[in-house]
Copies of this chain bind each other. A is one copy, B any other.
Amino acid sequence: MSSVDGMRRLAVIDLGSNTVKLISLDFRPGHGYRHLDQLREVVRLSQGLQAGGPLQPKAVERALATLATFRAYCDATGTERIVATATSAVRDAADGAAFVERGRDQAGIELRVLSGEEEAAYAVLAVANSFAISDAVVMDLGGGSVQLSEMRARRSVRGESWPLGAVRASEGFLKSDPPTKKQLRRLRDAVRDTVGPWLDVMADADGTRAEPGALPWIGMGGTLRNLADAWQQRSGHPLELLHGYPLPAGGLATLTDELARIDRAGRAEVPGVSADRADIIVAGAVVLDEIVRLAGTDAIMVSGQGLREGVFYPELFPDQPHHLTVDVRDFAVRNLMRLYHLDEAHPERVTRLALQLFDALADRLGHGPAERELLAAAARVHDVGMAIDYYGHHRHGEYLVLARPLPGFDAREQTLIAAMVRYHRKGRPSAGSRAQLLVDGDEKRLRDLTGLLRIAEQLDRSKAGRVDSVACRVGPDVVVLEASCSGDARLELQEAARRSELLAQALGRTIEVVAAATKA
């Protein structure tokens, strides 16, 4: 699905203190994108680096060799553009400028050294474009440092970073394995002493006085992803998606305590913990846990996007103010629709007809704007399963809706959309093994919205746009759906009537589908 007109191929390389990563993306500016590949190499560029001192020659060689390999990968894969950034290790080294020059000359990679503020701004940009949230605290815990940013109106207004990343905190504080209580206490003290004042300032900010825990918290980095994965597995969370998942503070505390009591080999066996992170995860968990305690937040939401995606957004949204998508949820739905090359005309017509039915019947059914948005999302993607096969496309569509994060929607909403897609043709709507994510009233929501979608889909059965609009007349026993048609819409009216049972049950009335007028 990568050979669409106007698609561009971009690689983002991020040279951190511990690892170098490359993500490869195909995108069309303003339109959509997809991840193609990821490369990752542990180079430990900051190894032996003293504050204000030079990079160590061996570390430099490892980093340059990896950059050269990544460059070769880009050349081989038809990558048109490479955006490469370097952060604290290069920024803080005395010979950072010389390293950048060698990167250009020896590896063919033009590194851009980000300031701390830029790094924070890109992390916030990633969050602002992948969460339907305006204000939050954004936390990025990497190998070298932990960084906090205050996001207001989708932009970073204040940020700071401390050298308490998982690698550095582990080396600096947790010298035993498992660590002693004293070591753990000292690390917690260090977090409190350094990060605490930043949180206090936020809480006292002029005009927008806020307890830090009153804002949503959004976190990124491998430590948090591992912990969230572990907690998802332990708590039987039925969706294998991390982006947007709220790791409860209690779960974080439980995992942190447990991991701190066992040694590295034991930690590597904990489901969710990567073997190559088992050595440093305790330190990262303790730092996260202490910050969450200080902030008093109930949960920290995982962002699967970070600095690399933040660097990518100016390429994706070059013309948007501050490179912010206007509506995160709307973009997510359209991106999903476009990923699978759907002809957009049919889903857009089904969406319009479904919303016309919704608007006419919402009061009677007891639904509002939240349900309307879910219905529109499901209508736009109801046919994505066709990308796999016509036969079983309702099942395939459910799979595709759940296969990737749907930024801006939570797990419950994504589950409802997937279930509508699954049952958009027939059957009794159900969230299946994901029913535990639903709340009171969702079963009715699902039935009612699916009933509307099912009729709207049939009103464009021939995909010829024969039904321009639909109106509803609600009588005591019968609801008449009046379709304004262009041309012969017999197939549409007949099929819509055939699939009206679910809506008829919801309304407690029989349904008739008639042509309001024939223009042609």
Q: Which residues of A contact B (CB under 8 A)?
A: 1-4, 34-39, 65, 68-69, 72-73, 75-77, 240, 304, 340-341, 343, 386-392, 395-396, 399-400, 403-404, 462-466, 487-488, 490-491
Chain B residues whose CB sits within 8 angstroms of the CB of A340 once the complex forms: 1
Chain B residues whose CB sits within 8 angstroms of the CB of A466 once the complex forms: 72
- Contact (Cβ within 8 A) B34 A389: yes
**How many copies altogether?**
2
- Contact (Cβ within 8 A) B403 A392: yes
20 sample A-B contacts, Cβ–Cβ < 8 Å, listed by A number = A1-B387, A2-B343, A34-B389, A35-B391, A36-B386, A36-B390, A69-B488, A72-B466, A73-B464, A73-B491, A76-B462, A77-B464, A240-B392, A240-B395, A389-B403, A391-B404, A392-B403, A396-B403, A399-B399, A399-B403
**Distance A2 CA – B387 CA, assembled complex (angstroms):** 8
Output the least CB separation between A387 and chain B (Å). Answer: 5
- Contact (Cβ within 8 A) A465 B76: yes
Q: Which of B4, B404, B462, B464 contacts A389 (CB 8 A)?
A: B404
Chain B residues whose CB sits within 8 angstroms of the CB of A34 once the complex forms: 389-390
Q: Which of B68, B341, B386, B396 contacts A3 (CB 8 A)?
A: B341
Of the listed residues A1, A240, A399, the one surrounded by the most CB atoms of chain B closer than 10 A to its CB is A1
**Distance A334 CA – B305 CA, assembled complex (angstroms):** 34
| CB-based nearest B residue for A304 | B391
**Distance A331 CA – B69 CA, assembled complex (angstroms):** 35
| CB-based nearest B residue for A383 | B37
Output the least CB separation between A9 and chain B (Å). Answer: 11
- Contact (Cβ within 8 A) B462 A390: no
Chain B residues whose CB sits within 8 angstroms of the CB of A399 once the complex forms: 399, 403
**Distance A491 CA – B390 CA, assembled complex (angstroms):** 40
Closest 5 CB pairs of A and B: A76-B464, A35-B390, A73-B462, A69-B491, A389-B404
**Distance A464 CA – B79 CA, assembled complex (angstroms):** 12
Chain B residues whose CB sits within 8 angstroms of the CB of A73 once the complex forms: 462-464, 491
Chain B residues whose CB sits within 8 angstroms of the CB of A2 once the complex forms: 341, 343
Of the listed residues A65, A392, A463, the one surrounded by the most CB atoms of chain B closer than 10 A to its CB is A463
- Contact (Cβ within 8 A) A390 B4: no
| CB-based nearest B residue for A341 | B1
| CB-based nearest B residue for A240 | B392
Output the least CB separation between A443 and chain B (Å). Answer: 23
Chain B residues whose CB sits within 8 angstroms of the CB of A341 once the complex forms: 1-3
Decide yes or no: A389 and B35 within 8 Å by CB, A1-B1, A4-B3, A465-B76 being known contacts: yes
Decide yes or no: A390 and B465 within 8 Å by CB, A3-B341, A491-B69 being known contacts: no
- Contacts A36-B390, A75-B464, A388-B403 known; 4 new A-B pairs at CB < 8 A: A1-B341, A69-B462, A76-B463, A304-B391
Output the least CB separation between A62 and chain B (Å). Answer: 11
**Distance A465 CA – B76 CA, assembled complex (angstroms):** 8
Q: Which of B37, B389, B390 contacts A390 (CB 8 A)?
A: B37
Decide yes or no: A488 and B72 within 8 Å by CB, A2-B341, A399-B399 being known contacts: yes
Chain B residues whose CB sits within 8 angstroms of the CB of A491 once the complex forms: 39, 69, 72-73
**Distance A51 CA – B343 CA, assembled complex (angstroms):** 46
Chain B residues whose CB sits within 8 angstroms of the CB of A395 once the complex forms: 240
**Distance A487 CA – B304 CA, assembled complex (angstroms):** 35
- Contact (Cβ within 8 A) A404 B388: yes
Decide yes or no: A464 and B72 within 8 Å by CB, A65-B490, A390-B38 being known contacts: yes
- Contact (Cβ within 8 A) A463 B77: yes
Chain B residues whose CB sits within 8 angstroms of the CB of A389 once the complex forms: 34-35, 403-404
Q: Which of B39, B400, B487 contacts A72 (CB 8 A)?
A: B487
Chain B residues whose CB sits within 8 angstroms of the CB of A1 once the complex forms: 1, 340-341, 387
**Distance A505 CA – B387 CA, assembled complex (angstroms):** 39
**Distance A334 CA – B198 CA, assembled complex (angstroms):** 58
**Distance A391 CA – B240 CA, assembled complex (angstroms):** 11
| CB-based nearest B residue for A3 | B341
| CB-based nearest B residue for A488 | B72
Chain B residues whose CB sits within 8 angstroms of the CB of A400 once the complex forms: 388
Output the least CB separation between A418 and chain B (Å). Answer: 14
